[in-house]
Structure 1
Amino acid sequence: MTDILSSPYSNFLKLLKSELWQTSLDLSLSHSEFLSVYDLASKQAVLGMIAESLIRNNVSLERKDVMKVLAIQGRVATTNKAVNSELLSLSKLFTENDIESVVVKGQTIGIYYPNPLARTPGDIDFYCNEDNLPKMISAMASTWGIHAEGKPSEQHFELIHNSIILELHHCLMKFASKKSQKIWDNIFLSLTHNHVEIDGCSIPTLEPTLNLLYTFLHLYHHLIELGVGLRQFCDLAILLKTYYNSIDEKQFFEWLDALDFRKAFEIVQMILVDILGMDKKYALSPIAPDKESLKAINMFMDVVWFGGNFGFHGHNRKFRFKAQYFLMTTYRKLQLYYRFYRFSPREIKASIFSSVPHKALMAIKGDLKGI
């Protein structure tokens, strides 16, 4: 179990909470302490936020560390501006070609951060249904000269434009459980979408209650597969704060119960309060950790600290063949499925008896794309 009271973790979390909730902090870091915080921030995909916190709080650092922090701040801001610019171009493509789409995660959540340019950006994820998908693929080919070549993964095509990765989803959320998949599809297709404004442009995204559900499900899916970083937990905390008066709590918990993820959400919500310092008033259910839930929080966080962002730091080996990576990740997934079974039994049971064997068969056939 990771000791979060130890200096590297304690300093890191103080800085992260200070930036998330815009509180003041009195802190000084030696060079070795700074490097420890930097390493954690890098693994958890929150370097920009830590840099912003260090600068805003005027944390005492050695000169070489100050220069590194300023470089991080500038690099993350520049990358955010580039991703925003690409998102605006994508929105223009939607409009000019009469394409219905919805953009999820990423910049559409980042806009709610105290400083949107400090959130470490990722890909642009967007969804088109079966009617709009061919129109989108055609528009990108004719206007931008990029092509969705080859077979997509189970959920999306991956394309690159202006050095930005675009994930064009034909399936927004993939469940191993057929029952859960049907419930999700009915939820998603029954709701109208919302819009956020980014750099003066209206971007289609999910309405608040569904956005919270999707962001949680995406986080938890990665957590039990290989791991997930604190950036995704920060996104969830920011949404809970932003949508404080907009979320339909009754509907949200009905969805969680129908999908069999309520227990998992309750632990994740405790993490947002106990680890990230979110005000309890933003929680959707009472926060009163008992001995068992505290054990669960530690179990969840051990995966977060070990694997970092999407589990990328959970192993140090480089694999010559993708099949080797598949075997390693499958072994890791089975370990996590065992540990998390009681929090989402239906989905994990379906993963063990359906998804994993299916992907193993694909691997045997040499079809390793997206597995």
Structure 2
Amino acid sequence: MKNTKIQAAFLFLLRSGLWGKKQQHNEKQFFPLSDAEWSGLYRRANEQTVQGIVYDGLLCLDKDHLPPRQLQIKWSVQIDRIERSHRRTNSQIAEQYAFFKKRKLSPLLLKGQGVAESYRFPEHRVCGDIDWYFETTRQCTLAGLHLIKNRIPRIHVGGQVYRWTASEMDLHDRLFDLHNPFCKRLLNQYRKDFPDTTLSISGQDVAVLAPQVQVVQVTAHILKHSLAFGIGLRQFCDLAALYHRYRHLLDGVRLEQLYRRIGLLRWIAPVHQFLVNELGLAKDKLPFTSPAGGSGMDILQEVWQSGNFGFYDEAYVQRIDGTFLARKGRTEAILRRIVRYFPYVPKEAFWFPIIHFLNRRGA
């Protein structure tokens, strides 16, 4: 997909929202927009679930370049809902953590609200599911049994997804979304070298990964969905925010060595290039310098076409009466992505379909 005025203006606002920088010298290249263009930009912000960040970018614009009054009001109302959701989700995280700890379980909060704290305005990152990691399958299973015993409904039969009041809660016994079985030892050692920490959420000290490990976990999550059906901009913003917030703690040499040994280094190069060129992350915030030059991978086109977790890719998602209902051509979609990603992450591209097939047989 070629660059468009809407896309360029969208990225301009996203960069401004992420870093809070008024880019007045460049603003006239992208603005003003027509009412139709503003409508398209707003729709894209929602598809990518970064409407809160883009809204923060609006606040950096000159008055003459703002969207129509009606859209401003609509957007402001949506931001209020996002902020309310942020507070409600944090409160539920504190409740859930206390629930598990009371039952002698030790959950670890993954992604989501823990990552949100790295943002300039954490309350403007759109909330997703609440993800908890347990060190063993036994602990994960036991946590699910306690939830069922306390009448917390399970959403998917046979799965570990539950409905806690207004939020979905996922229980996991695997920390990193990487499928190559030979990288497990390296990842476990890396985590031991950077012990878990805590984060205060709604007055509760909640266990989270150390920043050095969290960037790896988020990176692996991006790759997992990239290999499957696609991923949107929010997760790349997460990684950029983590780099920006914790660069002083990251051991670039060690991180680069880890990515090389688990076979991700060639893919990390275009990811870093994307964070700098499109999301505006300062180069000195990258944990290590990636090779210069083009990689041949167009991440921007992929995320722009896919939307959040690939749900807006009309080539593989069925739309009925204006609503996306189900994926279509699942096998074709995954095979296409495996072929595309194989030169960059051959180990993951090889093991990804094998592990998925084995998991489906064992389900």
Amino acid corresponding to residue 331 of structure 1 in structure 2: E
1:46-125 matches, cutoff 5 A: 46-55=50-59, 57=61, 59-125=65-131
Alpha-carbon distance in 2 for matches of 1:311, 1:148 = 21
Q: Which residue matches 2:331?
A: 330
Alpha-carbon distance in 1 for matches of 2:229, 2:154 = 30
Cα RMSD of the aligned pairs, angstroms, is 2.5
Q: Does residue 224 of structure 2 align to residue 218 of structure 1?
A: no
Q: Please, which runs of 5 or more residues in structure 1 have no aligned partner?
A: none
Equivalent residue in structure 1 for 2:5, among 7, 14, 28: 7
Cα pair 2:177 2:221 within 8 Å, conserved: no
Q: Which residue matches 1:261?
A: 264
1:193-208 matches, cutoff 5 A: 193-208=196-211
Superposition TM-score, scaled by structure 2 size: 0.87
The one-character-per-residue Cα deviations of 1:302-341 (angstroms, maximum 9, x if unpaired) are 211111111111125249xxxx967612211111111111
Alpha-carbon distance in 1 for matches of 2:49, 2:258 = 29
Give 3-state SS (helix, strand or coil) of 1:67's partner: helix
Q: Which residue matches 1:242?
A: 245
Q: Which residue matches 1:162?
A: 165
Amino acid corresponding to residue 135 of structure 2 in structure 1: N
Alpha-carbon distance in 2 for matches of 1:279, 1:52 = 19
Alpha-carbon distance in 2 for matches of 1:209, 1:326 = 35
Give runs of ≥4 in structure 1 deviating > 6 Å. 324-327
Q: 1:281 to 1:94 in 2, by over 3 A?
A: same
Amino acid corresponding to residue 164 of structure 1 in structure 2: S
1:249-328 matches, cutoff 5 A: 249-286=252-289, 289-290=292-293, 292-293=294-295, 295-296=296-297, 298=298, 300-315=299-314, 316-318=317-319, 328=329
Q: 1:149 to 1:224 in 2, by over 3 A?
A: closer
Q: Deviation of residue 2 (structure 1)?
A: 2.8
Bigger mean CA deviation after superposition, 30-39 or 139-148: 139-148
Q: Does residue 148 of structure 2 align to residue 141 of structure 1?
A: yes
When the two structures are aligned, how many residues end up with a matched partner?
348
Cα pair 2:17 2:55 within 8 Å, conserved: no
Q: Deviation of residue 189 (structure 1)?
A: 6.1
Q: Deviation of residue 95 (structure 1)?
A: 3.1
Q: 1:187 to 1:289 in 2, by over 3 A?
A: closer
Q: Which residue matches 1:132?
A: 139
Alpha-carbon distance in 1 for matches of 2:291, 2:44 = 28
Q: Deviation of residue 103 (structure 1)?
A: 0.4
Alpha-carbon distance in 1 for matches of 2:18, 2:313 = 26
Q: Which residue matches 2:35?
A: 31
Q: Which residue matches 1:342?
A: 343
Alpha-carbon distance in 2 for matches of 1:147, 1:61 = 42
Q: Deviation of residue 242 (structure 1)?
A: 0.9
Cα pair 2:253 2:288 within 8 Å, conserved: no
Cα pair 2:154 2:161 within 8 Å, conserved: no
Alpha-carbon distance in 2 for matches of 1:43, 1:119 = 14
Alpha-carbon distance in 2 for matches of 1:149, 1:119 = 26
Q: 1:150 to 1:189 in 2, by over 3 A?
A: farther
Alpha-carbon distance in 2 for matches of 1:240, 1:38 = 27
Q: Deviation of residue 123 (structure 1)?
A: 0.5
Q: Deviation of residue 23 (structure 1)?
A: 0.7
Superposition TM-score, scaled by structure 1 size: 0.86
Amino acid corresponding to residue 256 of structure 1 in structure 2: Y
